[in-house]
A and B are shown apart, each in its own frame.
Chain A
């Protein structure tokens, strides 16, 4: 808990001061509308007939890519190691982290039959951000509570964190990755992310 609180304060500090907010984007309800639009697009894509699950998830990843501020999340997740990384390491890390995070959450949130996204609440978080609370319900299985932390940067909304059942993905990854970087360096982390996104998908054919 203490560790969690420590990370939370680090997180809040990290969030303040990056990016400007425009009055139009900050207007109340705007962030909810942004999440609602993303959710509508996502559900439309996920229900498109005639596409394989892999294709639907691929399109869903593109929607998430537009909505997530992947660059920001990636930098936050490796924290102080970002400044020490070489230009090549930064580029490789951002590529594989982006692919990894989009792949993970496209798989986690999407693809389920008959999925629905309901916005339950919108509340300010700190001076710059808004948290949009949602419930993702599925005909089979229990609903997921996902809170989306949204920030407007240069007049554009972007998701900078998601809390699934109260657990922040940014903080979870920060904890996992900092241990790994200590053990095997930034290159070790890049290799791990590369290996995670390099897997083959499910198949119907007997591939030899």
Chain B
């Protein structure tokens, strides 16, 4: 409504003047309607008015706005403001993916792995993940790394997996960093290096990734790749256990048994005051 009103007002300005200032306004008017609709859809989405977001994005998606197709796909995938429909989500992501929109290529690949709304198709998964990874999407590089790590749709290739984890890990993706920790620990796709393992576990742990926190705790407890420090070990284990990670819950009890009450209290205090780093 507001947009329409503004458009009318600005249309009349356009009609009434030949000044450069007015020409500048005209330019904004020509450029802004689509942006304004996308943006009001986004505002509605953020407010939790998903039906409102759907209403804004639907016409944009129909006129081939890749970003609107992508976000509309999210609404269908999660059943927000509309009944969940994975087939519709996949179809929207397919359109945006064909237009070269990397997040849509990634999410379409996810559906092609799980067979949600589309037939499972590893060949297509690899095609889309490669495109999105080439565009610099860290999550796609990581997922592609997992495909090579497990040999899904490709011959197993741990060196290739390592290189892809490294690409995503250097971009700050926590799951990739955790996997780098594991590959360095085991010498799986790269040379074994416990110091490097700790470095990568720590990067993911500091972002709050539970499995990495647990693994870092184990490194501290054993003094592998890092100086042995049982208080640090317990602190990282507590953080992982608080997120419900089973092995950390077990380790926590075991580690606490071997420590003095003062040290346990210290670790608990460190854990309580701990804050994740921003991604």
Contacts and interface: CB of A to CB of B under 8 A. Distances in A.
Contact of B244 (A70, A113, A194, A202): A70
Given A46-B48, A208-B102, A196 B244 contact: no
A5 interface: no
A86 to B, nearest CB: 14
Interface string A133-165: 000000011000000000000000000000000
A113 B49 contact: yes
Contacts of A114: 48
A203 B114 CA distance: 22
B70 interface: yes
15 contacts: A53-B45, A53-B48, A65-B244, A113-B47, A140-B52, A191-B152, A192-B116, A193-B114, A195-B143, A196-B110, A198-B143, A199-B77, A199-B107, A203-B70, A206-B67
Interface in B239-267: 243-247
Contacts of B101: 207-208
Contact of B71 (A91, A104, A107, A203): A203
- Judged by DSSP, the binding face of B is helix
Residue among B75, B135, B246 with most chain A CB within 10 A: B246
A175 interface: no
A98 interface: yes
B67 A200 contact: no
Interface of A: 46, 52-53, 65, 70-71, 91, 94-95, 98, 104, 107-108, 111-115, 140-141, 191-196, 198-204, 206-208
A75 to B, nearest CB: 11
A34 B2 CA distance: 44
Contacts of B39: 204
Given A191-B113, A200-B107, A94 B46 contact: no
B47 to A, nearest CB: 5
Contacts of A71: 244, 246
Contacts, number: 92
B137 interface: yes
A146 B46 CA distance: 24
Interface residues of B, number: 47
Contacts of B71: 202-203
B209 to A, nearest CB: 11
A196 B111 CA distance: 7
Given A94-B246, A195-B113, A203 B102 contact: no
A71 B241 CA distance: 13
Contact of A192 (B48, B114, B135, B143): B114
A192 B113 contact: yes
A46 B107 CA distance: 26
B80 interface: yes
Interface in B27-62: 38-39, 42, 45-52
10 closest A-B pairs by CB: A113-B48, A195-B113, A195-B114, A192-B114, A202-B74, A195-B110, A107-B78, A202-B71, A200-B103, A112-B48
Given A107-B79, A107-B80, 4 more contacts: A52-B46, A195-B111, A207-B101, A207-B103
Contacts of B211: 95
B111 A207 contact: no
Interface in B108-145: 110-111, 113-116, 135-137, 139, 143
B106 interface: yes
Interface in B68-117: 70-71, 74-75, 77-81, 100-103, 106-107, 110-111, 113-116
Contact of A191 (B78, B111, B114): B114
Contacts of B51: 140-141
Contacts of A201: 74
A5 to B, nearest CB: 26
